[in-house]
Amino acid sequence: MADALGRTVLHRDRYGRMWGLGDRKSPSAKTPALVLMADDPALPVDYAPFSSASSTSLPSVLSIRSRGSFCPPEFKENGPTYSVNVGHVLPPSLEDANAGEAQGTSSLLPVSWQRMNHDDSLTDPSLSPEIVVLTDAVQLASQPGKLPTAVMTLKHRFPGALLWTPGLGGPDNLSVLVSMGVDLFDLARCREASANGVVLTAWGPRLPLDHEATSVEAQAYHMVKTLDEVRAAVMTGSLRTLAVQQSQSSPRLVEHLRRHQDLVAGNEGVLASHMPATTEFACFSSNALTDPLVADWERFMAEDYEAPAPVRNVMILLPCSARKPYRLSKSHGQFLRAIGSTGCHEVMMTSPLGLVPRDLEDVWPAANYDVPVTGDWSSDELGRVRRMLTALVQRVGYREIINHTDMDLSFLAVDVVNTRQGQGSTNFDALARLTAAVKDARERYDLKNQKNNLRLKEHFRSIARKVTGTDAWCEALVVRGKLPRWRLELDGTQMAVWSIDRNGFSFSRAAIDLLHHHQALKAVVLREDVVWKGDVFAQLVEKADPTIRMGDDLRVLQGGKCIGLARAVAAGWEWAGTPGTLAKSHQRKKKS
C-alpha cells in the first residue's frame, strides 16, 4: 500500500534531509519547509506545503492540510489531510509524573517529552506516522540537553516521518534545527518579531533600518531566504558549516549543537564513510575539533588502525600540506625525494584530524578536509596529536621515530631523531638531516625498499581494513595498471578498481563471492518473498546492519546467499522505515 503522503529523500547531510513531496520523479514541494497558520502570508507551496489549525474546544484537536497534491499514485487533488487529539500533558520539568490527557495516535503523531517517557504505545513496531509533532519543543529548548535528545530519539524511532517543532524555528536557528533533524517549521517567531517591531534575520533579531518593514510578510521574506540557504547547504554537504556559523548568534544554539554532536558521536550509523572527492570537510574554526567526524577518526586511529606490516619499525612524522592528497603538494614532493625509501612509515601531523598515515591519505575525511595553515597549534590540537601518537606507538611498536615536525616528542617512550632543529621543514639543511636519518635507520634496522606494486597493495590493504572491515579478501590479489586506475586482480580477473572520483573501491561482479567468503562489508538481508530488480528500498529489507554509513558498499543477502552488492545512500538509523532508495544497486549476480 502506498503511503498517504508521497515523499522521498532527495538529499542528505547527516540528520539534515531534503524531502521531496508528491511525485518522487517531479516533487511539487521540498523540505525544510513551513506549516502555515491562519492569517499567515500565502507563500508558494514549495516553501509552505502544509497549513494547520487547532480547535479551541476541549479536547484540543490539531489538523494539518496539504496545500499541494501529495497523494500517490494519481497526485490529482490536494492531500492528504490529518486530524488528531493533541491532549493536555504536564510540562517537561514534571517528567516523572505520569498524568494529563492522553495524546492521539494517527498518521499525524503528537509527541511530548512526557509521552516519550511514559507511553509504551510509541514502541509499537506497526506505528508508522507520516508527520510527528514535538508539541512541547519550545519548553524543551529551555532545558539543557532535552531538545537534542528528544529530536534524535524521534528520528531514530520514526525515520520515515517529517518532524515539526511548533513555535521553535526561525531564520536565526533554522540551519541548527535542520542539522538536528527537524523538517517543518512555522512563522510563530516571525509573528512575535513583528509584534515587537524588530526584524528576525538569519543572524538573530535586530532593529529595522529606515527602509525596512517589520510586517509578517517582511519577516516571511527572511524565512524563505534562509530556507533557500539551508536547502542549498544540505544539497552540497555543507550544512554543518552553516549550522556552526549560525549557532554563534546565541549561546543556547551553541549548547544545542554541542549536545547534538555528542549524541552523534555516540551513534555508529550516522557519519558517512565515503564522500565524493569534490566534497569538502571545512575546518575553518575551533568548532571542527569537536565535530563527531574528528572524534571518530581519532577513535579509529587509536583503537583499530593497523600500520602496513613492512613499515612497522620506523615512523617518519611529517607536517601536513594544504593540498590533498599530501603527496601531490610541493613540500611533500621534497620530503619524498629526501626520504628516498619506502621502508619507513610516513605519518602526517595535521589539524583537526591529528594524524594521517600515508596509506590512508586518499580516504574520507583525510583527503577532503580543508584547514587554514598558520603554523600555530592550540593546546586542544596538540593534545589530540599526543593522545594519538601515544596510542599508535604502543599498538604498532615502532623502534624509532624520525621527527620532521617542530613538535616535542619527549613524552614518547621510543627513540626520536629530530631533523628540523628549529628550521623550516623544506630548509635545505633540514632535508639533508632527514635524508641522513633515514639512511642511518635503514642500515641499523635493515629496512628494505618495497616494490611499487607491493607497496600499493599494502596501501590498499590498509584502506580495506578501514572501509570493508577486513583485508583478508586482498591476500591473494595483485595490483596492476597505472594511475588513475589501479586494478586489483585475482588470477587475471579484476576484483576491484581504485576510483579517484569517490576515493574508494569500485567492485566488480566477480568480487561478490570473494567478499562474502571473507565477510567483508556490512550486510543487508532482503525478504525472501521479494524479487530484487532495482535499488534497495525499505519494503524489501528484512534486516540491516544498524552501523551502516552513507557511502558504505554492502553485501546484499537473500535466503542465506549473497546475491549482489549495493552502495548505501542512507545511514543505518534511516533503514527502519525511510521511504525511497536506501542503497543503489552496484553489482548483481546473474541468475543461474
- Let me know whether 221 and 301 are in one domain: no
Band of the pLDDT at 474, cuts 50, 70, 90?
Answer: very high
Sign of the C-alpha dihedral computed for residues 221, 223, 224 and 225 taken in this order: positive
pLDDT, average across residues 144-164: 95
Is the pLDDT at 372 greater than 50, yes or no? yes
Kindly report the CATH number assigned to the domain that includes residue 354.
3.40.50.10630
Which of 430, 445, 460 is the endpoint of a domain?
Answer: 445
- Let me know whether 312 and 439 are in one domain: yes
pLDDT, average across residues 121-145: 92
Sign of the C-alpha dihedral computed for residues 383, 387, 393 and 396 taken in this order: negative
Which of 265, 293, 314 is the endpoint of a domain?
Answer: 265
- Let me know whether 305 and 220 are in one domain: no
Query: Would you state the cell numbers that stand for residue 450, as one nine-digit string?
Result: 618495497
Mean pLDDT over the full length of the chain: 91
Tell which wins on pLDDT, 92 or 83: 83
- Pairing relation of β-strands 81-85 and 61-66? antiparallel
Give the integer Cα–Cα distance in Å for 73 and 50: 19
- Let me know whether 261 and 285 are in one domain: no
Q: What percent of the chain has pLDDT over 90?
A: 71
Q: What is the pLDDT of residues 24-67, one digit of tens each?
A: 889 999 999 999 999 899 999 999 999 998 876 767 888 999 99
Band of the pLDDT at 280, cuts 50, 70, 90?
Answer: confident
- Let me know whether 179 and 64 are in one domain: yes
Q: Are 35 and 51 in contact (CB under 8 A)?
A: yes
Is the pLDDT at 284 greater than 80, yes or no? no
Q: How far is CA 306 from CA 448, 460, 464, in A?
A: 19, 12, 11
- Let me know whether 254 and 342 are in one domain: no
pLDDT for residue 96: 61
Beta strand ranges found along 172-300 (DSSP E): 184-185, 199-201, 204-206, 281-282
- Let me know whether 251 and 305 are in one domain: no
Q: What percent of the chain has pLDDT over 70?
A: 96
Is the pLDDT at 1 greater than 60, yes or no? no
pLDDT for residue 95: 62
Give the integer Cα–Cα distance in Å for 352 and 380: 9
pLDDT for residue 90: 67
pLDDT for residue 281: 76
Query: 385 is in which domain, residue-wise?
Result: 281-445
Band of the pLDDT at 335, cuts 50, 70, 90?
Answer: very high
Is the pLDDT at 370 greater than 90, yes or no? no
Q: What is the pLDDT of residues 386-397, one digit of tens each?
A: 999 999 999 999
Q: Are 587 and 509 in contact (CB under 8 A)?
A: yes
Is the pLDDT at 499 greater than 90, yes or no? no
Whether 122 is covered by a domain: the verdict is yes
Whether 336 is covered by a domain: the verdict is yes
pLDDT, average across residues 510-535: 94
- Let me know whether 322 and 423 are in one domain: yes
Q: What is the pLDDT of residues 287-308, one digit of tens each?
A: 777 889 999 999 999 999 999 9
Beta strand ranges found along 441-552 (DSSP E): 478-482, 485-490, 493-499, 504-507, 522-526, 536-537, 541-544
Give the integer Cα–Cα distance in Å for 173 and 193: 14
Q: How many CB atoms are located within 10 Å of the residue 402 CB?
A: 24
Which of 233, 265, 297 is the endpoint of a domain?
Answer: 265
pLDDT for residue 20: 95
Dihedrals phi, psi of 585, to nearest 5 degrees = -60, 135
Is the pLDDT at 286 greater than 80, yes or no? no
- Let me know whether 261 and 354 are in one domain: no
Is the pLDDT at 373 greater than 70, yes or no? no
Our count of domains for the chain comes to: 2
- Let me know whether 215 and 295 are in one domain: no
Angle of the 251-265 helix axis to the 146-157 helix axis, nearest 10:
40
Is the pLDDT at 374 greater than 70, yes or no? no
Is the pLDDT at 501 greater than 80, yes or no? no
